[in-house]
Amino acid sequence: MTAQDPSQQNQESDVVSVAHAPWLDIPDIVAEVQELKNRFSAADLCVADILCDSKPADDTAFILVNGNLDIERLSFGELAQRSKCLASALSEQGIGVGSRVGVLMAKTRQLPIVLLALWRLGAVHVPLFTAFGNEAIASRVNAAQARLIIADPDQCPKLVGIDIPVLKTGANLDTLIESHPPLEHNERIGQSGTFIELYTSGTTGAPKGVRVPAYAIASFIAYMRYGFDLQANDVLWNGADPGWAYGLFYSVVGPMATGRANVLLAAPFTTAITKQVVDALRVTNFASAPTVYRALRKDGIRFNTPLRVASSAGEPLTPEITDWAPKALGCLVRDHWGQTEQGMGVINAWDPRLLREPKAGSMGQAMPGFVVGTVGDTIALSVPNSPLMWFTGYANDARQTQERYTKDKLWYLSGDAGRHDGTDVFFAARADDVIIASGYRISPFDIESILALDPAVSEAAVVGRRYADSVSGEVIEAFITLASDAATDGLVERLQDLVRVRYGRHGYPRHIHIVDSLPKTPSGKIRRVDLRNIS
């Protein structure tokens, strides 16, 4: 598998710069990527076969934990049997190939059973995060033209006014399963058939529908292999919620596809319960969003059993987490980058063949199966040289799909600003979050990382705001939350001086606001657009 030179193919006016992809220099990995491409290019792919029916029936599919720390296991055999019976029941209700079904469920035993039942029928799962309110749910199921919503009983009050039939989980669902014979035939949707329609988090506009084809499972397996270095003796806990891409792709689909059990915790996040689960199960391979690591650090959490692997995605890690993690968790936390539209594309790999000391602030190198670069200052993926790339466009939105590609269609434009140093890729900001002040382009992440070095700062977010009397472009403003027992005397001046020294006078925040919390999307990403609107 030899990469072309995409920079010679692009006709855009923006400068194209291609980062070296180290995986292309390792013949074994090149062969593995080719095998994944070949395997998942079949016209008769069956999602249920890939994720469940091909696995030994006695193997554990998921480790289930509730708020009382009761632990049970769901085998692939039980998952297969119960999902077949539920698929029969759903088929009677008219659910079939292409039917969109919203799923509003916690991480209980019934969740993977419901998802697999849908995929047996060739139906399309529309994920609904359980923290959503009525408006967020309605916008997604209506855009998807869902025929059914499957919801936990405590979520049903949120569905008032949504004119779509609802099937309740719990005892009602168990009765339905037990009263139907198993489905005899699984649909084969093929490589391009859609099995998930996932909506973006909406940090920079209205959520957009991303149709996930069966072929995408190849890239999910690649991340489990190269990003997590998932081994047979690992105890995996990716705690991200399946209502979002990182959780659905890599805590449900990816583990099932590789035959490795993931922990599903049916309880709200707290640092205390996180520690209890890790210690009780002797978790070795852990993944979560930066906001979880920051909370663990803030509360002084230390795991009794050292982790072998710790991974992060969603937003860049700030330096205080990198410094804290080895003693508290047992290993470094390695940062990774991806998007709803593509899954993971840049990794600080745990696979030994790609393992190396992470560079400060780096998201890593191109994940096997992808070639990364920049078009102008936008992080981009090479379309002809990324064999595991699967995104082809947004649901029913040709205009926004077109905006994701260069005019020659050779580069997918992520919408994230950044750079690379020849191999490593560094995130700067969402493209529309870059600050233009006094003629300089300033990355919010760079300033946030410096502010977070002060022990008084728990979290920081930086934005540019434009005032009527401003003559130098945007004014840099910071919003911070305080650590416990924070020393606040002279804090604002101290933080401004810290940025002046470490970054430069042009980048220091003219205003620093101390707030109780930062506005975030339900998946934990900071909503800078909301900060700009604070008067």
Per-residue pLDDT tens over the stretch 461-471: 998 887 755 54
pLDDT at 406: 95
Pair 107, 241: CB distance under 8 Å? yes
Q: Which stretch, 219-223, 266-270, 336-340, has highest mean pLDDT?
A: 219-223
Q: Is the pLDDT of residue 60 over 50?
A: yes
Spatial neighbors of 59 by CB under 8 A, at least 6 apart, are 75, 76, 259, 261
What pTM, to 2 d.p., does this model score?
A: 0.83
* Percentage of the chain lying above the pLDDT 90 cut: 71
- Location of structure tokens 């852990």: 286
Mean pLDDT in residue range 159-186: 97
3-state secondary structure of 337: strand
Reported as type and span, the H/E element at residue 508 is none
pLDDT for 343-389, tens place per residue?
999 999 999 999 999 998 899 999 999 999 999 999 999 999 999 99
Contact 194, 211 (CB under 8 A): yes
Q: How far apart are CA 294 and CA 312, in angstroms?
A: 11
Lowest pLDDT segment from 30-44, 79-93, 161-175, 199-213: 199-213
pLDDT at 1 > cutoff 60: no
Residue 340 main-chain phi, psi, to 5 deg: -55, -40
| Domain 434-532, classified CATH 3.40.50.300, yes or no | no
Q: Which burial class, exposed, middle or buried, applies to 395 when counting CB atoms under 10 A from its CB (0-12, 13-18, 19+)?
A: middle
Mean pLDDT, the chain, whole residue set: 91
**How far apart are alpha carbons 210 and 213 in whole angstroms?**
10
| CATH number of this structure's domain 46-189 | 3.40.50.980
CB atoms within 10 A of CB 24: 17
* Cα–Cα distances in angstroms (integers) from residue 88 to residues 92, 187, 369, in the given order: 6, 12, 37
And the tokens for 68? 């009382």
How many CB atoms are located within 10 Å of the residue 411 CB? 29
Two tokens at 404? 């994701």
What backbone phi and psi angles, to 5 degrees, belong to 33?
A: -65, -40
Q: Which amino acid would we find at residue 503? A: Y
Question: Average pLDDT for residues 225-247, to the nearest whole number?
Answer: 95
pLDDT for 13 = 59
Domain residue limits, the chain: 46-189, 434-532
**What tokens were used for 126?**
């529309």
